């Protein structure tokens, strides 16, 4: 696992994860699995599409995950 990716759910993160935090985690994940820190020009579009897809899946997960014992956000 990429050590740069932090847990984005309570109680590890006291507040709701921001879009920037979600995108940063998605970028780290795509970098890790692709083996590229920055894609070559011919791979840039597919790299960004992957980051967008991972960020969307992460946001969906965080919006629907149930953390037992955690207080509901107000």
Indicate if the pLDDT at residue 3 is higher than 70.
no
Which pLDDT band, with edges at 50, 70 and 90, does 15 fall under? Answer: confident
Neighbours of 59 (CB within 10 A): 16
For the chain, give every domain's residue range: 19-64
In the structure encoding, which two tokens stand for residue 24, read together? Answer: 């940063």
Question: Of 44, 50, 60, which Cα lies nearest the Cα of 26?
Answer: 50
Indicate if the pLDDT at residue 73 is higher than 60.
no
For residues 62 and 21, the answer to whether their CB atoms sit within 8 Å is no
37 Cβ partners below 8 Å, 6+ apart?
31
Indicate if the pLDDT at residue 58 is higher than 90.
yes
């Amino acid at each position: 696992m990429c050590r740069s990716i932090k847990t984005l759910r309570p109680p590890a993160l006291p507040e709701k994860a921001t879009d920037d935090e979600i995108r940063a985690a998605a970028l780290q994940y795509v970098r890790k699995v692709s083996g590229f820190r920055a894609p070559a020009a011919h791979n840039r579009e597919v790299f960004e599409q992957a980051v967008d897809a991972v960020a969307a899946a992460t946001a969906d997960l965080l919006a629907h995950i149930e953390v037992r014992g955690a207080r509901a956000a107000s």
